[in-house]
Amino acid sequence: MVAVVVGLTSCNGCNAQNNKNAGQPASEEASKVYFTKDITPENLMRLYEKLGSPATGKVGVKLHMGEPGGNHFLKPAFAKDFVNSFNGTFIDACTAYGGRRSTPADHMQVAEEHGFTAVAPVDILDAEGEIALPIEGGKHLKEVLVGSHFTDYDYIVVLTHFKGHAMGGFGGSLKNISIGIASVAGKCLVHSAGASSTNAFQEGTKQEDFIESMAEAAKGMIEQFKGRILYINVMNNLSVDCDCDSNPADPTMHDVGMLASFDPVALDKACVDLVYASEDHGKIHLVERIESRKGTIILDHAEEIGVGSQKYELVDIDK
């Protein structure tokens, strides 16, 4: 495990270095992870601006539209000014487990019901088929399947509601940009660690292999947008369950804040560390969910295959 640098510093002078390495995984140096405690639309814009490398061209914003019945997902009003500042399009993909978002038409209907289409354009990436993206150095996957619209975009913003997950332990940027954005067949491949493109719950798949496959799928997605992708995690409504759950458990710990980085491994690692460092007794449920599902394997494997680094510097923009 790489040592973690956790430092609360000011941001003066940081943007030049971040522009130089925008979108590139960190290696020897600690990745910058920006943090703010107050979860507001204004601070979302501040975090984005601190990264110092604006999204340009046709920008896709990967955000969970929320399974009907659940109410913990990030609301479109929260992201409205942020997304419209660069004329972004909300993007997502169909689910492999049924529910109200398993077809493009139904998914678009949910996006409308939840208010996303009133804020910005919405694109269900696999509405017109899928394409394969290669994965270099994967143990389980040689390619990842994603909706054919994915490569229509010039820049990707991964806006993630960080929370627990029934199968993955936790859902952060790595999950959002991997299984979260894969097509239905792509999701099945990740869930089955490459064994099946039609069965998301292939019998005999080891938990470790599933978690590692998410990291590998993330690499395949990210390689398409080197230097043209950024990540923001919002740590509120910290349920043990995903926004894909129509009846998620109520959160038991308080909101933590928002974090942003060009390195998804450092970003997710910082969020996990903040959960563990919290003095909120209610964190025990989220910690148990992470540990029981071996969730942090995604950080280890993503680092191992070159997606990013677990070594980071936490920069508090409120200071």
The CA-based dihedral angle spanning residues 159, 163, 168, 173, taken in that order and rounded to the nearest 10 degrees: 20
Helix boundaries (H) for 65-170: 76-84, 104-113
The arithmetic mean of pLDDT across residues 223-248, rounded, is 95
- Pairing assessment for the beta strands 229-235 and 169-171 based on DSSP bridges: unpaired
Q: Where are the chain's structural domains?
A: 53-307
Judge whether 8 and 234 are in contact, CB under 8 Å: no
DSSP string, 239-287: -SS-TT-SSPPPP-S---EEEEES-HHHHHHHHHHHHHH---TTHHHHH
Q: Which amino acid is at 75?
A: K
pLDDT of residue 205: 95
Q: What is the pLDDT of residues 163-206, one digit of tens each?
A: 999 999 999 999 999 999 999 999 999 999 999 999 888 888 99
Q: What is the pLDDT of residues 150-164, one digit of tens each?
A: 999 999 999 999 999
pLDDT of residue 68: 93
Diameter over CA atoms, the chain: 52
* pTM of the full structure: 0.92
Q: What is the pLDDT of residues 240-275, one digit of tens each?
A: 999 999 999 999 999 999 999 999 999 999 999 999
Question: Nearest-CA neighbor of 312 among 263, 261, 264, 266?
Answer: 266
Per-residue pLDDT for 52 more than 90? yes
pLDDT of residue 29: 85
Judge whether 88 and 60 are in contact, CB under 8 Å: yes
The arithmetic mean of pLDDT across residues 275-295, rounded, is 98
Per-residue pLDDT for 4 more than 60? no
Per-residue pLDDT for 117 more than 90? yes
pLDDT over 90 percentage in the chain:
86
Class of domain 53-307: alpha beta
DSSP secondary structure code for residue 110 in this structure:
H
- Pairing assessment for the beta strands 229-235 and 155-161 based on DSSP bridges: parallel
Helix boundaries (H) for the chain: 15-20, 41-51, 76-84, 104-113, 173-176, 184-191, 207-222, 264-277, 283-292, 297-304
pLDDT of residue 202: 83
Q: Taking the chain, what is the end-to-end CA distance rounded to the nearest angstrom?
A: 29
Supply the mean pLDDT for the chain.
92
The pLDDT-based confidence of 235 (bands split at 50, 70, 90) is very high
Distance CA 94, CA 210 (A): 19
Residues 6+ apart with CB under 8 A from 196: 188, 189, 202
